[in-house]
Amino acid sequence: MKILGIDTSCDETAAAVVADGRDVLSNVVASQIEVHQEYGGVVPELASRKHIEAINYIVSRALAEADVTFKDLEAIAVTNRPGLIGALLVGVAAAKSLAYCHKLPLLGINHIEGHIYAPFLAQLASQNLLSKDMVHDTLTFPHICLTVSGGHTLLVEVHEGWQYTVLGGTQDDAAGEVYDKVAKYLGLGFPGGKVIDDLAQKGDPAAIKFPRPMRNTDDYQFSFSGIKTSVRYFVEKARRAGLLVENGQADVKPTNPDRITIEDIAASFQAAVVDVLVYKSIRAAKATGAKAITLTGGVAANSQLRASLKVAATEIGAAVYYPPMSLCTDNGAMIAGIAYQKYQQGLRDELSLNATPNGSLV
191 binds, among Zn ion, ligand KG4, none (CB under 5 to 8 A by kind): ligand KG4
194 binds, among ligand KG4, Zn ion, none (CB under 5 to 8 A by kind): ligand KG4
Which three-class secondary structure state does DSSP give residue 131? coil
173 binds, among ligand KG4, Zn ion, none (CB under 5 to 8 A by kind): none
Least distance in angstroms from the C-beta of 200 to ligand KG4: 9
Q: How far is CA 240 from CA 159, 233, 237, in A?
A: 52, 11, 5
Task: Please tell me the distance from the alpha carbon of residue 358 to that of residue 234, in angstroms, as a whole number.
Answer: 35
15 in Cβ contact with 24 (< 8 Å): no
Number of CB atoms found within 10 A of residue 360's CB = 10
Task: Please tell me the distance from the alpha carbon of residue 293 to that of residue 308, in angstroms, as a whole number.
Answer: 12
299 binds, among Zn ion, ligand KG4, none (CB under 5 to 8 A by kind): ligand KG4
Least distance in angstroms from the C-beta of 292 to Zn ion: 21
Exactly one of 330, 337, 349, 355 binds ligand KG4 (CB under 6 A); which one? Answer: 330
C-beta of 149 vs 261, nearer to Zn ion: 149
Task: Please tell me the distance from the alpha carbon of residue 181 to that of residue 224, in angstroms, as a whole number.
Answer: 11
Exactly one of 21, 108, 151, 324 binds ligand KG4 (CB under 6 A); which one? Answer: 151
Angle 32-37-42 from CA coordinates, rounded to 5° = 65
Exactly one of 8, 27, 123, 149 binds ligand KG4 (CB under 6 A); which one? Answer: 149
Least distance in angstroms from the C-beta of 299 to ligand KG4: 4
Least distance in angstroms from the C-beta of 355 to Zn ion: 15
Task: Please tell me the distance from the alpha carbon of residue 200 to that of residue 31, in angstroms, as a whole number.
Answer: 25
- Per CB under 6 A, does 301 bind ligand KG4? yes
Under rule CB under 6 A, which residues in 174-213 are in contact with ligand KG4? 176, 179-180, 191-194, 197
Query: For the chain, what's the residue count?
Result: 362
Which three-class secondary structure state does DSSP give residue 75? strand
- Per CB under 5 A, does 123 bind Zn ion? no
- Per CB under 5 A, does 149 bind Zn ion? yes
Task: Please tell me the distance from the alpha carbon of residue 61 to that of residue 148, in angstroms, as a whole number.
Answer: 28
Which one of the spans 66-74, 119-127, 230-238, 293-301 is the region binding ligand KG4 (CB under 6 A)? 293-301
C-beta of 119 vs 176, nearer to ligand KG4: 176
- Per CB under 5 A, does 7 bind Zn ion? no
Strand partners, 3: 18, 75
Among candidate residues 272, 264, 184, the one with its CA nearest the CA of residue 222: 272
301 binds, among ligand KG4, Zn ion, none (CB under 5 to 8 A by kind): ligand KG4
Cis amide leading into 357 (omega within 30) = no
Least distance in angstroms from the C-beta of 95 to ligand KG4: 19
234 in Cβ contact with 294 (< 8 Å): no
Question: For binding to ligand KG4 (CB under 6 A), which residues are involved?
Answer: 10, 149-151, 176, 179-180, 191-194, 197, 297-299, 301-302, 329-330
